[in-house]
């Protein structure tokens, strides 16, 4: 069965320090993987996506993620956190079982401390 696991429900970092949000997936096929961000009372905004091209994917706002097939991981990183990065982040795998379906992780709430 296809699934995605976000390993941390909450992450706190100080402003200016690196961010690491962890995501592991399970998929029988080559997956498409996405990271979305959701600010309070907002919809989801696409940060980046992996679709079997380069394994290191660069997204918006300085975020990037690396696809590691051997580890079935797609962790999201940013070198230096900004206060505006405080939000909830969702890792998503798109799988096909006849029809395509988005499977969401449970989310990681990022807190940025001044």
Partner 1 sequence: KAGVTQTPRYLIKTRGQQVTLSCSPISGHRSVSWYQQTPGQGLQFLFEYFSETQRNKGNFPGRFSGRQFSNSRSEMNVSTLELGDSALYLCASSLGLNGETQYFGPGTRLLVL
**Closest CB 29 distance from partner 1, rounded Å:** 10
| Lookup result for tokens 């070198």 | 79
Between 81 and 107, CB nearer to partner 1: 107
Could you give the 3-state DSSP secondary structure of residue 84? helix
Between 53 and 100, CB nearer to partner 1: 100
**Closest CB 49 distance from partner 1, rounded Å:** 6
Interface ranges with partner 1 (CB under 8 A): 32, 34, 36, 41-46, 49, 90, 94-96, 99-102, 104, 106-107
Print the SS3 string covering 30-77. Answer: CCEEEEEEECCCCCEEEEEEECCCCCEEECHHHCEEEEECCCCEEEEE
**Closest CB 45 distance from partner 1, rounded Å:** 7
**Closest CB 99 distance from partner 1, rounded Å:** 5
Task: For residues 59 and 28, give the distance between their C-alpha atoms in angstroms, rounded to a whole number.
Answer: 26
Between 60 and 113, CB nearer to partner 1: 60
Q: Which residues contact 72 (CB under 8 A, 6 or more apart)?
A: 24, 25, 26, 27
Between 32 and 72, CB nearer to partner 1: 32
């Amino acid at each position: 069965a296809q699934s995605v696991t976000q390993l941390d429900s909450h992450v706190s970092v100080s402003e200016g320090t690196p961010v690491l949000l962890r995501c592991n997936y399970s998929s029988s096929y080559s997956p498409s993987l996405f990271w979305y961000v959701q600010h309070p009372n907002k919809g989801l905004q696409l940060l980046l996506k992996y679709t079997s091209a380069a394994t290191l994917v660069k997204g918006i706002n300085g975020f990037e993620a690396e696809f590691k097939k051997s580890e079935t991981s797609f962790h999201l990183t940013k070198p230096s956190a900004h206060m505006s990065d405080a939000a909830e982040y969702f890792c998503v795998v798109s799988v096909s079982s006849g029809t395509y379906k988005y499977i969401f992780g449970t989310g990681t709430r990022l807190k940025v401390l001044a």
